[in-house]
């Protein structure tokens, strides 16, 4: 047996043992439920394929981006219908890189400069707005609507100024924002659109008869692969676009700000490593160490990508399971819709729900905390809608004196969400008994059972 054959045989033996290990020690039965069992809002759902891929990658001991990264980016792009995909180490990094790509000088007059404005919302996760503030651009906060919990598109024109360069907003809990209105607004005023798709991978939206996945209607889309999300690789994220120039900017900012496009471990990919002239550098300065931007190193490892490759096969089944669980829970809670505002899908959308959000009505006679405490007392995880209103958090206090920002209107609905909204999970690890129990606890907390 040759050395190569022996290596293949050894690898197969190891991976067969890994599959056995999964069956004996890692496999989880999500079909049962007894009162008192923990019901998380989300979590990793996997089988032996993810574990085998992870070990297979580790046997290569190629610790940075490699063959699994290439496979993931190619397959992810084909699945979503995008040409340029860049794997990164988290969804937060994805948002950072997506925004920073818009600051590149190569974009000319459309470049976002310090002091330029970016329309967003205060009701959401902070890393959607952190890059805007940290760079020195000006966030312009617009209110949201209930029961979609997305940007109020009727306030977009009011938010516009001669400094506006972009819109950067998320699809809340898998429910797409009004992409048609936002896309038309951006096209009308020549603005960039970044879709924070971290909570909505697999959601679909239709505009004028064409249906696409969310994240692909904007100029740039971002995803997160943190364990609670639609697919996971532990930590990880992705930036994707159909704009070739933006893709090149994303890659540059992700990879230290390099001008060079050589993949990790490959030199002179372009064939002109030592014959270029860049800036004030001497002619022939090593192109691998020419920096066109002040960037970062935000690549993911190949071991993360290996897990993601196995998860990609499950994305559509996972999305369908989330839809079914959401529909089941909504039916169970229809009897208390006079006390709770139940969520509704955006028009022309097919959400891949991240969670099931509710807003307590004032006439219910109970508070949001009454319900969440009852749920947690029954071992059911709950979550609020992230920051609720980021402007009211301690982290924003230091910026109020030193950072420019604008608020459109009073953010009255945003504050209502902050005070009265909460959500529970509908992830694929749920089953009918768990959903029925969650609904029962909510009804009891409202005095209806």
Catalytic residues: 229
Instruction: Say if CB 368 and CB 422 are below 8 A apart.
Output: yes
Instruction: Say if CB 150 and CB 175 are below 8 A apart.
Output: yes
User: Measured on CA atoms in the order 247, 242, 183, 189, is the torsion positive or negative?
Assistant: positive
Q: Which of 241, 223, 249 is nearest to 111 (CA)?
A: 249
DSSP 8-state code for residue 428: T
> Is it true that the peptide bond before 37 is cis, omega within 30 degrees of 0?
no
C-alpha to C-alpha distance for 256 and 288, rounded to whole angstroms: 11
Cα-based distances in Å from 412 to 122, 124, 144, 176, 358 = 11, 15, 9, 21, 17
Q: Which residues contact 184 (CB under 8 A, 6 or more apart)?
A: none
164-170/117-121 β-pairing: parallel
Structure tokens at 144: 């949201």
Structure tokens at 311: 């998860």
* Host H or E run for residue 355: strand 355-360
* Host H or E run for residue 349: strand 349-350
C-alpha to C-alpha distance for 183 and 218, rounded to whole angstroms: 7
* Host H or E run for residue 238: strand 237-241
C-alpha to C-alpha distance for 201 and 182, rounded to whole angstroms: 19
* Host H or E run for residue 309: helix 302-312
C-alpha to C-alpha distance for 181 and 42, rounded to whole angstroms: 31
Neighbours of 145 (CB within 10 A): 17
């Amino acid at each position: 047996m040759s050395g190569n054959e022996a290596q293949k045989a050894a690898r197969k033996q190891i991976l067969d043992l890994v599959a056995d290990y999964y069956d004996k020690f890692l496999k989880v039965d999500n079909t049962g439920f007894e009162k008192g069992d923990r019901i998380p809002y989300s979590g990793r759902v996997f089988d032996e394929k993810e574990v085998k891929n992870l070990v297979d990658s580790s046997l290569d001991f190629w610790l940075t981006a490699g063959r699994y990264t290439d496979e993931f980016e190619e397959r992810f792009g084909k699945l979503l219908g995008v040409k340029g995909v860049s794997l990164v180490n988290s969804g937060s990094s994805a948002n950072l890189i997506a925004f920073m790509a818009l600051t590149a000088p190569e974009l000319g007059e459309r470049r976002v400069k310090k002091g330029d404005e970016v329309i967003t919302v205060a009701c959401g996760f902070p890393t959607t707005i952190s890059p805007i503030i940290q760079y020195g651009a000006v966030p312009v906060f617009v209110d949201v609507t209930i029961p979609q919990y997305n940007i109020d598109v009727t306030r977009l024109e009011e938010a516009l100024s001669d400094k506006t360069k972009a819109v950067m907003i998320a699809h809340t809990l898998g429910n797409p924002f009004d992409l048609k209105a936002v896309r038309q607004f951006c096209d009308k005023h020549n603005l960039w659109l970044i879709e924070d798709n971290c909570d909505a991978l697999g959601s679909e939206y239709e505009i004028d008869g064409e249906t696409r996945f969310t994240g692909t209607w904007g100029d740039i889309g971002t995803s997160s692969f943190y364990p609670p999300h639609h697919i996971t690789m532990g930590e990880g994220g992705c930036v994707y676009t159909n704009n070739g120039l933006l893709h090149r900017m994303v890659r540059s900012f992700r990879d230290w700000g390099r001008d060079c496009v050589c993949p990790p471990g490959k030199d002179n990919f372009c064939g002109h490593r030592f014959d270029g002239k860049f800036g004030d550098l001497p002619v022939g300065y090593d192109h691998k160490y020419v920096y066109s931007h002040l960037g970062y190193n935000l690549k993911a490892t190949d071991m993360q990508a290996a897990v993601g490759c196995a998860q990609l096969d499950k994305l559509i089944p996972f999305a369908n399971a989330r839809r079914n669980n959401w529909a089941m829970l909504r039916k169970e809670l229809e009897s208390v819709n006079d006390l709770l505002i139940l969520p509704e899908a955006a028009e022309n959308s097919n959400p891949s729900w991240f969670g099931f959000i509710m807003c307590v009505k004032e006439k219910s006679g109970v508070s949001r905390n009454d319900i969440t405490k009852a749920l947690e007392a029954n071992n059911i995880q709950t979550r609020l809608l992230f920051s609720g209103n980021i402007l009211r958090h301690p982290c924003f206090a230091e910026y109020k004196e030193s950072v420019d920002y604008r608020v459109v209107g009073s953010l009255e609905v945003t504050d209502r969400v902050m005070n009265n909204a909460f959500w529970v999970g509908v992830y694929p690890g749920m089953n009918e008994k768990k959903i029925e129990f969650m609904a029962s606890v909510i009804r009891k907390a409202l005095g209806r059972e």
